[in-house]
Structure 1
């Protein structure tokens, strides 16, 4: 969501039309839709901090594409609705619960244990 908001904002700041802002926002959401949230030990450091870089690059790229005239085939309002649907259908383990994905790898579990043992 932050990447999509940044894409729309960058497009607006750079003089894009409302239609271009919508296209940039839609493209940014589509590019990252379905990405699971699997924080190791329940913290945002792994992998979220590094994913933020991908989100920032995605935002700039989508703003550039929209300003160059590239359009999202699916309208932004439908992309937003679809993203909500995907999120609701996603298994609980992949929705910022630290119960799936990287959080349950051996190293992920080791980090969690180390965090729990800290005073």
Structure 2
């Protein structure tokens, strides 16, 4: 979980297909790797509870535009805005 800390959530036109589907695939790969590491006896330097607390704090500190609003990150790029306009008929 710690390798996803601070990840921007920026669905284009409010759709999770772009860019989230690729991030979810990466997350699935990370889960498999984490399982292999756990079975091999690797442990995290930071306890899971502390990691979760840190993730909550980072989420609260991030600007609203980067928290699944669809106005920041990749959703805020010219192409992201053009896709939104194509779907909804206007720029957001």
Q: TM-score category by the smaller chain?
A: over 0.9
Deviation of 1:113 after TM superposition, in Å, equals 0.3
1:111 aligned residue: 83
Residues 57-96 of structure 1 mapped to structure 2, 5 A cutoff: 57-96=29-68
Identify the structure with the greater helix proportion. Answer: 1
**Hey, which bits of structure 1, 4+ residues long, moved more than 6 A?**
none
C-alpha deviation, 1:50, in angstroms: 1.1
Q: How does 1:15-26 map to 2 (within 5 A)?
A: none
Q: Which runs of 5+ in 2 are unaligned?
A: none
Tell me the secondary structure at the aligned position of residue 71 of structure 2: coil
For this pair of structures, how many residues does the alignment match?
89
Root-mean-square deviation (Å): 0.7
Q: Does 1:37 align with 2:4?
A: no
Question: Per-residue deviation at 1:42?
Answer: 1.3
Query: Structure with the greater relative contact order (CA < 8 A, sep ≥ 6): 1 or 2?
Result: 2
Task: Work out the CA distance in 1 between the residues paired with 2:68 and 2:55.
Answer: 16
Residue in structure 1 matched with residue 22 of structure 2 by the alignment: 50
Normalised to the residue count of structure 2, the TM-score between the two structures is 0.93
